[in-house]
Chain A
């Protein structure tokens, strides 16, 4: 056991296997030719092409981060776009190229000068130099044809070690697979550190050169609370880190008095399936299909969707897999979808509204893939969920579409089956209509993030109303209660797939409210399963009943003994 000291950045602890990220090795400049041998025209167009490529990559990173982390954290990529197009940088690089400098060398030199300028200033400015490094490395990677290291799909329980991580590097990390981050440099207010906190990845920064001594493959504990990095931690040290050794329970769990509660995982891509199974998920409660549509030029075709859905069914052969149909709107730019620019995209054309109307073609492709997947090897577990439902007509229209697609498949002689169908409860309209929805559907699943936003009329991205955006407001709890009661009266099962479902401090409240299923980021599954096993449904129901009589969020928080 050996301990290094740094600055705790995300106050969480994690244990995993050390893996090094050393991008500088890959971005080494080739030997520089004599100026007379440089084809100036070619280098200029190379530089322009690289800028175009990086500009598009930054926009992708921006929208992905806005989706996965938040608008505030995504703003850093707008700053990067400005650096990329900064006349003070671009003009100098073009001048250097005109003087016979190859594009990569010109980029490297100009950014190095800017980085030096920032680092010569005080602490916070030095951290901003990481933003310049990020843009430089992207440009160099584009110019040198270097494939970026795939940080987005690291093996489960990775502790990522790096000299430094850029905001782009950090934004693609998957909290379900990355157990911790340790960097030699950096401070806790750097953009990368802020993103790591938003992703709840344990992080220690500013450890210094000693970090180099940690070899890949060693076991490392990252304690973001104390700022310690422990190599080959003892069992006591692991236990002291708290919560690190949450026992993974593969089997479904029940409450102390024997009521089964399904604990499922929310995933956005097939790469998240195995990590979810490894954390003990009892199935997939939310498969977000929109990620299959991001970062590409055209929509995925039926076969690609079919492959993704059957992969999910194969990963959970005996469990349910709930696939949410395309949930996009004006806030999620997808170039080929031609989504409208709206002043208020959260109240605009989105979710099922598009699927039964202007995006009926994309929806039909999804339905064909889903009906075929329902007839595949483990297809009986397939369930289809509609986002943003506010009217019965939407459900009726979808049922008609399903019939039409089934007829077409029948005629074509293609094997199919009808999956179970449910609605997300996100709008107040759906809460009020929950009884009628439950009569026509197999299940309801409460999306608490959007439900809270719409019930409280509080924009998720607006810090000015952050206090309103809390599902513990009595109005939101009553909306949940109304939904659960209506679902059960209509013989539909009812789940929850918003952030609230994954908070172990709220598990007994949710059990008490009567939810049959909780779906969450895989990382919180072991903790929630442990809480369910300790919960008595009678006590939980009494707690929920008390919570429903509370007048204020503060009363609810006091009742739940939250700080």
Chain B
């Protein structure tokens, strides 16, 4: 199961968006891999901060997400939500 999304947060895949992504991936059973949409098959494990940050993806680039496992669809939804929201939602919406 896979999806391609554009990275919206200003920080790109660094700092908080990157750590949110890794934290989120770790909450699912599914394995999630991530890579630049333009790099063909070069994917890295999305549960590794080092690997995710090492991609050096900046705001506006497209990334490809590949998930496998029982909750793959939910994992993809959660990860895509992080990558496509400008400001991370810290609390509950009122």
Give chain A's interface residues, CB within 8 Å of chain B. 71-72, 75-76, 78-79, 81-83, 85-89, 114, 117-118, 121-122, 124-125, 128, 132, 191, 343-345, 459, 461-464
User: Which residues of chain B are near A79, meaning CB under 8 Å?
Assistant: 14-16, 18-19, 49, 53
Interface of B is mostly: helix
Q: Is the CB of A114 within 8 A of B92?
A: no
Known: A75-B16, A88-B51, A118-B54. A82 touches B91 (CB 8 A): no
Question: Chain B: which residue is nearest A461 at the CB level?
Answer: B90
User: Which residues of chain A are near B74, meaning CB under 8 Å?
Assistant: none
Q: What's the count of A-B pairs with C-beta under 8 Å?
A: 65
Question: Chain B: which residue is nearest A81 at the CB level?
Answer: B19
The 8 A CB mask of B49-62 against A (1 = contact, 0 = none) is 11101101000000
**B87 beta carbon closer than 8 Å to chain A:** yes
Q: Is the CB of B18 within 8 A of A82?
A: yes
A62 to nearest B CB, angstroms? 11
A188 to nearest B CB, angstroms? 16
Q: Is the CB of B56 within 8 A of A83?
A: no
User: Which residues of chain B are near A124, meaning CB under 8 Å?
Assistant: 56
Q: Is the CB of B19 within 8 A of A82?
A: yes
Q: Is the CB of A121 within 8 A of B56?
A: yes
Bound CA span A75–B16, Å: 6
Bound CA span A200–B54, Å: 31
User: Which residues of chain A are near B49, meaning CB under 8 Å?
Assistant: 79, 82-83, 85-86
**B48 beta carbon closer than 8 Å to chain A:** yes
User: Which residues of chain A are near B67, meaning CB under 8 Å?
Assistant: none
**B4 beta carbon closer than 8 Å to chain A:** no
Which 5 residue pairs across A and B have the least CB separation, nearest first?
A82-B49, A343-B92, A75-B16, A88-B48, A78-B19
The 8 A CB mask of B36-71 against A (1 = contact, 0 = none) is 000000000101111101101000000000000000
Q: Which of A89, A128, A344 is the one whose CB lies under 8 Å from B92?
A: A344
User: Which residues of chain A are near B51, meaning CB under 8 Å?
Assistant: 86, 88
User: Which residues of chain A are near B18, meaning CB under 8 Å?
Assistant: 79, 82
Q: Which of B75-94 contact A (CB under 8 A)?
A: 87, 90-92, 94
Bound CA span A458–B18, Å: 26
User: Which residues of chain B are near A345, meaning CB under 8 Å?
Assistant: 91
Bound CA span A128–B19, Å: 13
Q: Is the CB of A462 within 8 A of B90?
A: yes
Known: A125-B56, A344-B91. A75 touches B48 (CB 8 A): no
Question: Chain B: which residue is nearest A345 at the CB level?
Answer: B91
Q: Is the CB of A76 within 8 A of B15?
A: yes
Other contacts beyond A79-B18, A82-B19: 6, CB < 8 A? A79-B14, A79-B15, A79-B19, A88-B50, A125-B56, A462-B87
Bound CA span A72–B14, Å: 13
User: How many B residues, CB 8 Å from partner?
Assistant: 22
Bound CA span A343–B50, Å: 31
Q: List 6 A-B contacts (CB under 8 A).
A: A75-B16, A78-B19, A86-B51, A88-B50, A117-B54, A125-B56
Bound CA span A132–B51, Å: 13
B16 to nearest A CB, angstroms? 4
Q: Which of B16, B47, B53 is the one whose CB lies under 8 Å from A87?
A: B47
Bound CA span A76–B20, Å: 11
User: Which residues of chain B are near A121, meaning CB under 8 Å?
Assistant: 54, 56
A128 to nearest B CB, angstroms? 6
Q: Is the CB of A89 within 8 A of B50?
A: yes
Q: Which of B50, B92, B94 is the one whose CB lies under 8 Å from A86?
A: B50
User: Which residues of chain B are near A125, meaning CB under 8 Å?
Assistant: 56
A242 to nearest B CB, angstroms? 32
Q: Is the CB of A128 within 8 A of B94?
A: no
Known: A82-B23, A88-B45. A128 touches B14 (CB 8 A): yes
**B22 beta carbon closer than 8 Å to chain A:** yes
User: Which residues of chain A are near B14, meaning CB under 8 Å?
Assistant: 79, 128
Question: Chain A: which residue is nearest B90 at the CB level?
Answer: A461
Bound CA span A85–B51, Å: 12
Bound CA span A272–B20, Å: 35
User: Which residues of chain A are near B92, meaning CB under 8 Å?
Assistant: 343-344
Bound CA span A462–B50, Å: 28
Q: Is the CB of B48 within 8 A of A71?
A: no
Bound CA span A33–B75, Å: 45
Question: Chain A: which residue is nearest B47 at the CB level?
Answer: A87
Bound CA span A124–B92, Å: 33
User: Which residues of chain B are near A462, meaning CB under 8 Å?
Assistant: 87, 90
Q: Which of B6-34 contact A (CB under 8 A)?
A: 14-16, 18-20, 22-23
User: Which residues of chain A are near B48, meaning CB under 8 Å?
Assistant: 86-89
User: Which residues of chain B are near A86, meaning CB under 8 Å?
Assistant: 22, 48-51
Bound CA span A343–B47, Å: 27
User: Which residues of chain B are near A118, meaning CB under 8 Å?
Assistant: 53-54
User: Which residues of chain B are near A89, meaning CB under 8 Å?
Assistant: 48, 50
B76 to nearest A CB, angstroms? 20
Q: Is the CB of A82 within 8 A of B54?
A: no
Question: Chain B: which residue is nearest A464 at the CB level?
Answer: B87
User: Which residues of chain A are near B50, meaning CB under 8 Å?
Assistant: 83, 86, 88-89, 114, 132
User: Which residues of chain B are near A78, meaning CB under 8 Å?
Assistant: 16, 19-20, 23
Q: Is the CB of A463 within 8 A of B87?
A: yes
Bound CA span A459–B87, Å: 13
Q: Is the CB of B87 within 8 A of A75?
A: no
Question: Chain A: which residue is nearest B26 at the CB level?
Answer: A85
A198 to nearest B CB, angstroms? 14
